[in-house]
């Protein structure tokens, strides 16, 4: 399935007039529109390879049709997304689900679609066929050194695949922890994990980063060995300057103030990357912005404030990734919505009048502080985001384009109705 440029132009023709009217009306609200547009154009979000197929709950899986059956088809899917929105020009791979048979071919296929490789993900939360030692009682924390070594070796393999593909980072998410009090010695689990992570860290090329992802619970329900941002920061600090904390929005205890966590990690120069998703209860992995869009905006507000304070590039200094799972929606439509939600929150946060906000804070003007943030949040920036897409050759309305061009129907024709994508 390929979407030709002229088809995108034809679609844009239909709605361009309405768009221009809305965009012009919005211009009054934006001070430096060119710099805002430039930032939106530069911004890209990596799509996780495991989100292109239908996921599952603990109870069932309802497969969709036309899912990608190989790494090649996953890249093709992201290529389609990127054609439509021009904001998802990166993929985050997962080993062993995405082992490239020929890294060179995969690399050129991705380049053809304008896609680069964001963080590689390792997997020591499942046992693979033929694997010598089981991860039932953890991987890097394990009481037996053979199991720890197996986990370390796997992570080194993942780095090596990443080097061949041109990735520059690895995300380590561990399901290690315990289900019951008494099962585990917390201190020994931490020390074993730190030792294992340092072994992996030693194999990082000099221009690589390691992201240590934390998660409060699940699949372990009494303790998690990288359980929160404090623990992740502790590992990252002890490991060295190439190690960073990765924030997955769904990995906190209820009502955690994620924007504050982000602000402090950035202040310490230890925020490395993001897994965007949304949730009502736990690690729900729902569409970004579908449940708590204001929280997403507040997070972006801190991100911009913190990155600007450190002179960081918004587009390249952090790993921007989605981590989601789709049980009822078409995965590609869901990803279109997620990318759009991220772009909207980013654009709104770019509109915050930081000078006025600082003044309000210095004068303890609580009311004005809130007003300034909500003014930006309540601005309908969709025409601004659409304008950025138009400028970069994408569609004014990616979701509508996806449906009008019958992309899923075509993928089903090509790949069949009963397809299963590798992943969770
Ligand atoms: C697990 O809960 C984490 O969010 C991981 O980042 C991710 O979902 C996993 O690596 C994908 O398999
Ligand atoms: Zn994650
Ligand atoms: Zn998760
Ligand atoms: Zn999640």
User: Could you report the per-residue pLDDT of 159-199, keeping only the tens digit for each?
Assistant: 999 999 999 999 999 999 999 999 999 999 999 999 999 99
When the candidates are 2.40.50.140, 1.10.10.10, 3.20.20.150, 2.115.10.20, the CATH number that belongs to 5-415 is: 3.20.20.150
Q: Whose CA is nearest to atom 7 of ligand 1?
A: 323
Name every protein residue with a CB atom under 6 angstroms from any ligand 1 atom. Answer: 50, 94, 121, 173, 213, 215, 248, 275, 283, 323, 424
> What CA–CA distance (Å, rounded) separates 134 from 147?
7
Pocket test for ligand 1, best of 94, 96, 121, 212 (most atoms within 8 A of CB): 121
- The answer to whether the beta carbons of residues 139 and 146 sit under 8 Å apart is no
Read off the pTM. Answer: 0.97
Q: Which atom of ligand 1 is nearest to the CA of 97?
A: 12
Question: Could you state, in order of their start, the residue ranges of all structural domains in the chain?
Answer: 5-415
Strand ranges for 342-411 from DSSP E = none
Ligand 2 centroid – CA 5 distance (Å): 34
Ligand 2 centroid – CA 154 distance (Å): 19
pLDDT of amino acid 423: 67
pLDDT of amino acid 110: 98
Ligand nearest to C-alpha 275? 2
User: Could you give the strand order of the β-sheet that contains 116-117, starting from the edge strand earlier in sequence?
Assistant: 116-117, 90-92, 46-48, 319-322, 271-276, 243-248, 209-213, 169-173, 120-121
Ligand 4 centroid – CA 275 distance (Å): 7
Sign of CA dihedral 284, 251, 323, 313: positive
> What CA–CA distance (Å, rounded) separates 199 from 155?
9
Ligand nearest to C-alpha 324? 4
- Phi, psi angles (nearest 5°) of residue 73: -70, -30
- Kindly compute the dihedral angle of the four CA atoms of residues 325, 328, 331, 335, in this order, to the nearest 10 degrees: -70
Ligand nearest to C-alpha 250? 4
pLDDT of amino acid 402: 98
Q: Whose CA is nearest to atom 9 of ligand 1?
A: 173
Residue 26 pLDDT grade (very low, low, confident, very high; cuts 50, 70, 90): very high
Ligand 3 centroid – CA 327 distance (Å): 15
Would you say residue 19 has pLDDT above 70? yes
Pocket test for ligand 1, best of 170, 212, 323 (most atoms within 8 A of CB): 323
> What CA–CA distance (Å, rounded) separates 197 from 12?
49
Mean pLDDT of all residues in 134-161 = 98
pLDDT of amino acid 284: 96
Ligand nearest to C-alpha 285? 4
User: Could you report the per-residue pLDDT of 284-309, keeping only the tens digit for each?
Assistant: 999 999 999 999 999 999 999 999 99
């Amino acid at each position: 399935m390929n979407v030709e440029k002229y088809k995108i132009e034809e679609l844009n023709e239909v709605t361009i007039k309405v768009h221009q009217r809305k965009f012009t009306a919005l211009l009054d609200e934006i001070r430096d529109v060119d710099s805002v547009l430039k930032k939106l154009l530069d911004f890209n979000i990596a799509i996780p390879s495991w989100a292109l197929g239908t996921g599952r709950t603990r109870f069932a899986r309802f497969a969709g049709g036309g899912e990608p059956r190989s790494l090649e088809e996953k890249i093709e899917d992201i290529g389609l997304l990127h054609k439509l929105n021009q904001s998802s020009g990166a993929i985050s791979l997962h080993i062993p689900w995405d082992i490239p048979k020929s890294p060179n071919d995969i690399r050129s296929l991705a380049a053809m679609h304008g896609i680069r490789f964001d963080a590689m993900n390792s997997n020591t939360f499942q046992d693979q066929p033929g694997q010598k030692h089981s991860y039932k009682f953890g991987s890097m924390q394990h009481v037996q050194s053979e199991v720890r070594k197996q986990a370390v070796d796997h992570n080194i393999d993942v780095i090596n695949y990443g080097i061949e593909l041109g990735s520059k980072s690895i995300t380590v998410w561990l399901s290690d922890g315990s289900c019951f009090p008494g099962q585990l010695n917390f201190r020994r689990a931490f020390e074993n994990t730190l030792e294992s992570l340092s072994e992996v860290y030693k194999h990082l090329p000099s221009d690589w980063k390691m992201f240590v992802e934390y998660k409060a619970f699940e699949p372990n329900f009494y303790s998690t060995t990288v359980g929160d941002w404090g623990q992740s920061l502790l590992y990252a600090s002890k490991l060295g300057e190439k190690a960073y904390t990765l924030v997955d929005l769904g990995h906190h205890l209820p009502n955690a103030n994620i924007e504050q966590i982000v602000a402090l990690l950035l202040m310490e120069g230890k925020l490395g990357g993001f897994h965007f998703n949304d949730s009502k209860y736990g690690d729900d992995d729902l569409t970004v912005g579908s449940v708590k869009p204001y929280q997403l905006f507040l997070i972006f507000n801190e991100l911009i404030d913190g990155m600007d304070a450190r002179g960081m590039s918004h587009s390249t200094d952090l790993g921007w990734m989605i981590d989601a799972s789709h049980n009822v929606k078409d995965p590609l439509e869901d990803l279109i919505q997620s990318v759009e939600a991220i772009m909207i929150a980013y654009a709104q946060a770019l509109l915050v009048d930081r000078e006025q906000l600082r003044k309000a804070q210095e004068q303890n003007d609580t009311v004005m502080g809130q007003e300034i943030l909500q003014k930006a949040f309540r601005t309908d920036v969709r025409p601004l985001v659409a304008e950025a897409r138009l400028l970069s050759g994408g569609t004014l309305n990616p979701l509508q384009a996806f449906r009008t061009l019958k992309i899923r129907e075509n993928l089903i024709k090509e790949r069949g109705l009963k397809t299963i994508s590798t992943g969770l």
